[in-house]
């Protein structure tokens, strides 16, 4: 109900959460980049995919927050 009274709050929260996750993934990528073990290859691939997804989600969330994109135009399957 709070989002009904404050429409920007939910958008801002989503944008902040995506930004936080993106930062955490970037930090993890930096830590993994110094390891050359074969086990890291699969993790690295999954991490790269997650980073790309979050970058796209962050851009979309910012566009929604700034009013450049309507929520009805989003077709996310989470």
The residue that leads in pLDDT, 39 or 77, is 39
Task: Express each pLDDT in 5-55 by its tens digit.
Answer: 455 567 778 778 888 888 888 788 777 777 767 677 777 777 788 888 888
Is 50 exceeded by the pLDDT of residue 78?
no
Angle at 20 between CA 76 and CA 9, to 5 degrees: 65
- Residues 15 and 58: beta-carbon distance below 8 Å: yes
Is 60 exceeded by the pLDDT of residue 73?
no
- With b meaning 16 or more CB within 10 Å and e meaning fewer, what string describes 46-72? ebeeebeebeebbebbeebbeeeeeee
């Amino acid at each position: 109900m709070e989002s009904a009274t404050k429409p920007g709050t939910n958008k801002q929260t989503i944008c902040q959460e995506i930004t936080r996750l993106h930062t955490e993934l970037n930090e993890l990528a930096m830590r993994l980049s110094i390891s050359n073990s074969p086990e890291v290859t699969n993790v690295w691939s999954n991490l790269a995919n997650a980073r790309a997804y979050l970058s796209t989600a962050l851009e979309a969330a910012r566009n929604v927050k700034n009013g450049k994109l309507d929520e009805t135009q989003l077709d996310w399957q989470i």
